Amino acid sequence: MELKSFVSDVYQSIDRTDALAFARFITPTGSFRFANNPAVTGTEAIEAYVAGFFQSLKGINHSELESWKSGETLFVNGIVKYTRHNDTTLEVPFSCTWKMKGRLIDQYLIYIDSSELYK
């Protein structure tokens, strides 16, 4: 797996708000946690959760991505810009930890302050 390409492919699926494509990067029994929300487990549940999140927004764009690997764990930092349905935006830094299992993500952990997103 080429790290930069893999990271780019994951974030392209998110920025296209394609929940099915996103879920395909996660193992069938994998887990996904966004900020301080409870983790969601299993690709079907993750796809549904992410699809609901995507519908709550008009758009998403990730930029300034940095990534590195230590053992079987990938780390990604960057900036995410959320566009709300009223066309206002929120731009915040984020950090992700992806615990890999083979070529797929087994644990997807997002560290972000999203407290202003729905205000």
Report DSSP letters for the chain, one per residue.
--HHHHHHHHHHHHHTT-HHHHHTTEEEEEEEEETTSPPEESHHHHHHHHHHHHHT-SEEEEEEEEEEEETTEEEEEEEEEEE-TTS-EEEEEEEEEEEEETTEEEEEEEEE--TTTT-
- Spell out the domain ranges in the chain: 3-112
* CATH code linked to domain 3-112: 3.10.450.50
Residue 81: predicted pLDDT: 98
68-114 pLDDT per residue, tens: 999 999 999 999 999 999 999 999 999 999 999 999 999 999 999 99
